[in-house]
Amino acid sequence: MSFTIGIDVGGTFTDIVVASPDGQTIIAKAATTPADQSDGVLEGIVLAARQLGLATAALLAETSRIVHGTTVATNALLEGKTAPVGLLTTEGHRDVIEMREGLKPERYNLRMAPPTPLVPRRLRLPVRERMRPDGTVAIALDKASLDRAIARLAEENVRAVAICFLHAWRNPEHEQFAAAAVRTRMQDAYVTTSSDVLPRIKEFERFSTTVANAAVGPVIDTYLHRLRDRLSESGYRGELLVILSHGGVATVAEATRLAAGTALSGPAGGVAAAVALSRDGVAKDMIAFDMGGTSTDIALVRDGQPTLSDGKTVANARIALPSLDIVTLGAGGGSIGKVDAAGLLAVGPESAGANPGPACYGQGGTEATVTDANLVLGYLDPANFLGGRRSLDRHAATASVQRLADRLGLTVAEAAGGIHRLVNTRMADGVRVATVRRGVDPRGHALLAFGGAAGLHVTAVAGELGVKRVVVPIAAAVLSAWGMLNTDLRVELTRGQSQSGGLDIADLNAAFAEMEQEGRARLSWFDGEIMIRHTADMRYGEQVFEINVPLDGVARTREAIEDAFHAAHERLYTYALRDQDVVLVNAGVSVIGRLPSAPVATRDAAASPALAKARRQVFLTRWIEVPVYDFSALAPDQTLTGPVIIESDTTTVLIRNEETARFDPRGWLDITLN
């Protein structure tokens, strides 16, 4: 027997999925432990082992792969708990990270304070050196200047050092020398260089990404090595893999080197699951809709492929590493309902989080949340939360919503219904951002719902968007963790080219060959199948921003590559300027190590249709009694017509009026909206 384990640490719960070779899936949820996420991870594994009738050590000894998604880097940036960082940079350029790109994030907000840089000015130290854009040396590295700067950082006891020299993307020699000098003098410091993290043009993006990498590097290093050690002590003998923002997985060493690449680690697992289900025949075009306890993550999958972006901004830190294009909203089960300054009902983005959590958790929370509203409306069974391991306090939930209702002059049911509808509207707007604003009509896509809270909201969101098909997997509450078992090892490499006046194919192919060699070297320990993909960032000569163009299957000639760019530009913006020069800005290579996917068990086709296990009063514009079905007892192709509730230990799905749900034997509800 050889198990695989996926671990997704969310804001409220830590999700564990254990997959066995026969396709059986064990699900466990433990409370997230923000002080040390490894505590929640180990607790979840213990719970999963109990379900299998195994000791924790026995389960881990028979486990061949563990893939982990973590919010450690994201939380450190959001909460300002990053490591003290020093910056070494070219003389005269210490303020690049403060000047940013000359624009405010909210350019029309006259009262907006400037973002606080991750490195204070006193720790941004100049070094006398200069590279030209072509990689030749303009000013040789002044070793005395470098020594003074390192000595100052050592005196300040910084834990991490970012090294960002001008035009190091073209020639990293000075950065590499400086890094070696820092490691000699400051042996315990985390050291990172821009030429290693993001070797391409655009100074602010390169500087900001490198500084962010330094800021979260020590935090990620400490956490991942602690978790790996604890797993090893508990009986695990395999490699701990970490999912990165681009959706691929990496070793602890690689995730530590590129720590900023874990900023979207958890949500990336959900997109990986959407891609796996798309390839399994669910739908070619899907919108991944992940509603958890703290936030909702939305991403687009088209023709079985995820949409990538050139990075994200997390807590004012620009991280320009390749990442999945995920729209995140402060809307989840823990989002707090309140009366705003205008006397109107509002929901989020503030969240009750894991501690104290919603009022119904009985952990000291008093403010009404989305989960409290759903309990008041009858959508949740207070005795069947987490399979009965935790009961929900309906009285506390009602009291929290009552206080809000009194301020609004509403009944408790009306106030709870208002919270429910308002968060649905916010999430529908988020889907529009992920689709309509990118030129995509959501009505041609299936909405894939997952996360602990999605099943109660997704059909209402779909109705607002005009989407007619919704898919809810039986493992919806832990689908991100399951998705981590259905992705591959991935090394993303990029090289600045900045070619103008016509593409130099020889230089481009040389860059591709160099990156492929480096990527294969980083996966030298892996003995499975390796795939290589090539891309290029290109733009027209007068443009400021470039677009990413896949080059697999494109002939390596100037004409073919330019034609591929024109076609990609036309798909995105409806026009192409074929008489203008095309500028190659960056070349990219993805080196992918194929890992086996988690097997899926199918339901017995001869099973008898399930009967309702209970009936419950719910509020749907008025109080009505609806049947309640056990998700895990449904027979293949069994169809239910709303209003009805379908629930499992970790997921509750609300089927509303004029909606039908068919259970697919591969393990999901296929819901049709009329």
pTM (predicted TM-score)? 0.86
In this structure, what token pair is assigned to residue 37? 């996420």
Residue with tokens 């860059």: 511
- What residue ranges do the domains of the chain occupy? 80-215, 488-593
Q: Does residue 389 register a pLDDT over 80?
A: no
The proportion of the chain whose per-residue pLDDT surpasses 70, expressed as a percent, equals: 97
Looking at residue 316, what is its pLDDT? 83
pLDDT band for position 665 (cuts 50, 70, 90):
confident
Per-residue pLDDT band at 667 (split at 50, 70, 90)? confident
Q: Which pLDDT tens digit goes with each residue over 306-361?
A: 888 877 888 888 999 988 888 888 888 888 999 888 888 898 888 887 678 899 98
Quote the strand ranges of 500-529, DSSP E. Answer: none
Does residue 657 have a pLDDT over 70? yes
Mean pLDDT of 136-148: 96
User: Alpha helices, DSSP H only, in 532-649?
Assistant: 558-573
Q: Look at residue 229 and tell me whether its pLDDT is greater than 60.
A: yes
CA 614/CA 309 separation, integer angstroms: 46
Provide the pLDDT for residue 132. Answer: 93
Mean pLDDT of the chain: 90
Q: 108 pLDDT exceeds 90?
A: no
**Tokens 């163009």 belong to which residue?**
549
> What is the average pLDDT across 583-589?
92
Cα distances (angstroms) measured from residue 415 to each of 411, 453, 571, 656: 6, 19, 45, 19
Burial of 535 (0-12, 13-18, 19+ CB in 10 A): buried
CA-CA distance, 326 to 451, in Å (whole number)?
15
Judged against a pLDDT cut of 90, whether residue 477 lies above it is answered with: no
Question: Please, are residues 412 and 398 in contact by the beta-carbon 8 Å criterion?
Answer: yes
Mean pLDDT of the region 95-117: 85
- Of the chain, the percentage scoring pLDDT greater than 90 comes to 62
At 105, is the pLDDT very low, low, confident or very high (cuts 50, 70, 90)?
confident
> Rounded to an integer, what distance in angstroms lies between the CA atom of residue 6 and that of residue 9?
10
Residue 504: band (very low, low, confident or very high) from pLDDT cuts 50, 70, 90: confident
- CA angle (302, 305, 306) in 5-degree steps: 90
Give tens-digit pLDDT for 56-94.
999 999 999 999 998 888 888 888 889 999 999 999 999
C-alpha atoms less than 13 angstroms from C-alpha of 131 in its C-beta half-sphere: 19
Average pLDDT over residues 31-58: 92
Q: What is the dihedral of CA 623, 626, 631, 632, to 10 degrees?
A: 130
Give the separation between CA 561 and CA 352, rounded to whole angstroms: 51
Say which range, 36-50, 266-280, 368-382, 491-505, has the weakest mean pLDDT. Answer: 491-505
- Nearest partner of 366 among 331, 403, 341, judged by Cα: 403
At the topology level, CATH places domain 488-593 in Dna Ligase; domain 1 (3.30.1490)
Q: What is the pLDDT of residue 350?
A: 83
Comparing 600 with 62, which gets the higher pLDDT?
62
C-alpha to C-alpha distances, 283 to 276, 494, 625, 637, 669, nearest whole angstrom: 10, 31, 34, 17, 13
CB count, 10 Å around CB of 144? 9
How far apart CA 145 and CA 224 sit, in angstroms, is 35
Whether the pLDDT of residue 494 is over 60: the answer is yes
* In the predicted structure, residue 456 carries a pLDDT above the cut 70: yes
Of 58-67, 489-498, 558-567, the poorest mean pLDDT is in 489-498
Spatial contact of 30 and 218, defined as CB atoms under 8 Å apart: no
Containing 466, the helix (H) or strand (E) segment is: none
pLDDT of 259 reads: 94
For residue 12, give Cα distances in angstroms to 30, 110, 211, 382, 632.
9, 35, 29, 18, 24
d(CA 160, CA 654): 49
336: CB partners within 8 A, 6+ apart: 347, 348, 350, 351, 352, 367, 368, 369
What is the arithmetic mean of pLDDT over 373-397? 86
Mean pLDDT of 253-257: 95
What does the pLDDT read at residue 185?
Answer: 94
Question: What pLDDT band is residue 501 in, cutting at 50, 70 and 90?
Answer: low
DSSP code for 369 = B
Looking at the predicted structure, is the pLDDT value of residue 1 above 60?
no
Is 131 a residue whose pLDDT tops 60?
A: yes
**Three-class secondary structure assignment of 7-53:** EEECCCEEEEEEECCCCCEEEEEEECCCCCHHHHHHHHHHHHHHHHC
Contact yes or no for 584/506 (Cβ under 8 A): no
Strand 345-351 relative to strand 639-641: parallel, antiparallel, unpaired?
A: unpaired
Give the mean model confidence (pLDDT) for residues 267-295.
89
pLDDT band at 499 (very low <50, low <70, confident <90, very high): low
With a cut of 80, say whether residue 37 has pLDDT above it: yes
- Binned at pLDDT 50, 70 and 90, residue 388 comes out as low
